[in-house]
Structure 1
């Protein structure tokens, strides 16, 4: 095997496109998968996200289809020979763009179909004839039923991010689509994680596959620096601001668990001065594509998104990923943080974990087989200011050391006079009347009784209450009784 693209036996048009894209050294998944696919073997490939899986299957498939290349404009001369299935619209668009770039100097046509938009432009594209069809399962079934896509000459099938397609319930659609294909075909299955369901799927649709695992299953990229911070729900936005400022981060993905939470957080961050856009399943396809395009161009600082953006999106040089919410599914954590640290670059992954997220954090630990240390989050505004301490404790410091504080006259001359430090003096106590310091002296004669007792006697003499009834206890009052 060779690790250089220049040593591959690619056709001249493909080699020219690869050189134009700046590809020189193959990644591990490319180095192992490309020769196997060129041999015509089924492949079950597992690699960390961001390691070049698209080139690993697209280049050898285009190389094998070069024998069908022709310059005819007849749609019949350009039947669908390779089918690439993906779980999300964004990923389908991304893969289709890469395939089109690889094949730009050939006569092999490609197209992409996905839901959320009108079928008519897609139908017109399919009617022209395409060799490589990139699609999401639901929309492809729509075109199959409308007789727009004929798949009886498909030679190659690629299931990319297969675990995600199973998670969102595409297994019945996949089974229906594969039933329309010839049984003699080459099937390639690529995923960042391998689950028991994926292995069962592979055993059903792949024939004697070559298993390629370039990294430990479900592992995270070693180039990504990971941190978990203990942050309450009300302090997460404050923590996000502090880390962005402290690290000097210009762009980042911010993942949340719900569509509603995604929209609310994007609006809040926008009000707080950050250029933010939201990406979730309730947005139209046009809005989703515009949000991604703005983020790629650097017009947006933060892309607040749900797990619809967690799989396969390849946006270069994104320095950080924030898990505003710890994902419910541990495997989604691997995919989320795979949006940074791509193609060998370094990246930062920060997760905010509330006290109620402990079980989710434990699930992630079990999946990635790494102990997670949850760090306390210290906010700058909650820490004592050092300048305040120096001003207040300066004179005390000189008293404790026994040294004499420097006088202003001995200090170096200043260019401009600083304002004097404001002194606060305690108010002088007011003069005290000596009368209030004397003990209490009664003005009544010693044998005299208080007025309220005299009044009580006169009242009881007139009362008709029986003498056997115990009278109530008499207490002094500050008011006179009514006559």
Structure 2
């Protein structure tokens, strides 16, 4: 495939020591480059961001007009996508999210970015109330984590943003999971998009559980903190439970950070950086705050609270084992939850049961 790529793409890949395209990148390249609409499904950690960025290396012009708009569900994901765009695209890129200073964002728009990455709420605000984002030259719109962005609570805002672009705009929907929501895209956006699905890929992620009753979960988490090379993204069901768990871990002198929607965006960035650098053992988070997070070489995802849906399990699990690396997903499961747990784990998964003994995480012998 590499020999068929435009020279500008080959050169950029060489600069980044990027040897070959992943399956999703390969399958999307020509379709996106040709201006066609797509719905692309590929597991988390398989290179979806570059799958839609690479084709634009040869499409974007440095002409001070907005040509590419990327929508993301969270501030962190928008910032990550913005960083990748700046690394790979030789145009002006601006990130616009909620939680940041609006006046400063409006001031930065005077630089006339060719690419804007943002969260729907703030983008819609700047488009509808201040008219500071001009969409008349907009050629392509990407919905990253489309399954989430098209949920009922966001759909109206997202559709209104899309309506502001010219009728001939290109629409690109990317998701880690395929569900009923994606099947309504043609109706909601008047598009006959190409459907690209590379959802079935081999994974180096192991899945297992620790049998523990609810009142003992914080004690098990404390023990896990002393396991060699432990660094885990810990999923908690809501902000209230997260705050309580944070206090317990701090009391036990465990190095812990929090990442949730109520945290100020500067604090969130500090916490995320500290975790990525290995200065924090556990990063406690909720589902909304964690979508799309790309944490290099994350060894563990810990589900302190079980998710209610299979799709959420997949999104959580996708934080580890990215780009073919190994990882482990550990779920805390009570005796009553075991049947429920086995229903949400992907089919044909070899589920292991773990125990923590003498600061060692080991498989329980049956």
Structure 2 length as normaliser, TM-score?
Answer: 0.91
Alignment of 1:83-102 (within 5 A): 83-102=69-88
Alignment RMSD, CA only? 2.2
Structure 2 CA distance, aligned partners of 1:257 and 1:10? 47
Paired position in structure 2 for 1:149:
133
1:350-370 deviations in Å (ceiling 9; x for gaps): 0001234346425414xx224
Number of residue pairs aligned between Structure 1 and Structure 2: 358
Q: Does 1 or 2 have the higher relative contact order (CA < 8 Å, sep 6+)?
A: 2
**Can you give the 5+ residue segments of structure 1 that lack an aligned partner in the other structure?**
70-76, 382-483
Give how far 1:117 is off: 1.8
State the match for 1:291 in structure 2. 271
Query: Is the contact between residue 231 and residue 376 of structure 1 (CA under 8 Å) also seen in structure 2?
Result: no
C-alpha contact (below 8 Å) 2:222/2:254 kept by paired residues? no
Q: Which has more strand, going by share of residues?
A: 2
What are the residue-to-residue correspondences of 1:103-122 with 2, within 5 Å? Answer: 103=89, 106=90, 108-122=91-105
Instruction: Name the residue aligned to 2:182.
Output: 198
Provide the C-alpha distance between the structure 1 equivalents of 2:192 and 2:151, rounded to a whole number of angstroms. 25
**Cα distance in structure 1, aligned partners of 2:286 and 2:142:** 25
- Alpha-carbon shift at residue 109 of structure 1 (Å): 1.1
Indicate which of 5, 22, 25 corresponds to 1:8. 5
Bigger mean CA deviation after superposition, 46-55 or 203-212: 203-212
* Counterpart in the other structure of 1:42: 37
- Assess if the C-alpha contact under 8 Å between 2:41 and 2:177 holds in 1: yes
For the residues of structure 2 that align with 1:256 and 1:41, how far apart are their CA atoms? 39
Distance 1:373 1:111 in 2: 43
Judged with a 3 Å threshold, the aligned counterparts in structure 2 of structure 1 residues 297 and 206 are, in CA distance, closer, same or farther, namely: farther
Deviations 1:276-319 (A, max 9, x none): 11111111112111111211222212111111243211110111
Q: Name 2:221's counterpart in structure 1.
A: 240
1:279 matched to 2:259? The reply is yes
Q: Does structure 1 retain, via aligned residues, the 8 Å contact 2:224–2:230?
A: no
Q: Structure 1's 295 and 380: CA in aligned 2 closer, same or farther, altered over 3 A? A: closer
Offset, 1:329: 2.7
3-state DSSP of counterpart to 1:170: helix
Task: Structure 2: give runs of 5+ residues left out of the alignment.
Answer: 360-366
2:363 matched residue in structure 1: none
Residue 335 of structure 1 and its aligned partner are, at CA, apart by 0.6
Selected match of 2:244 from 257, 264, 272: 264
Contact 2:70 2:143 survives alignment (8 Å): yes
Q: Say which SS state the counterpart of residue 146 (structure 1) adopts.
A: coil
Q: CA deviation at 1:334?
A: 0.3
Query: 40, 44, 50: which one pairs with 1:55?
Result: 50
> Following the alignment from structure 1 to structure 2, what is the Cα–Cα distance between the partners of residues 358 and 177?
43
Among 218, 227, 231, the alignment partner of 2:208 is: 227
Query: TM-score w.r.t. structure 1 length?
Result: 0.70
Q: How does 1:150-229 map to 2 (within 5 A)?
A: 150-167=134-151, 169-205=153-189, 207-216=191-200, 222-229=203-210
Alignment partners' CA distance in 2, 1:168 and 1:119: 26
Relative to structure 1, the CA distance from residue 296 to residue 380 in structure 2 (aligned partners, 3 Å threshold; closer, same or farther) is closer
What SS class does the counterpart of residue 149 from structure 1 fall into? coil
Secondary structure (helix, strand or coil) at the match of 1:298 reads coil
Give the Cα–Cα distance (whole angstroms) in 2 for the partners of residues 196 and 110 of structure 1: 33
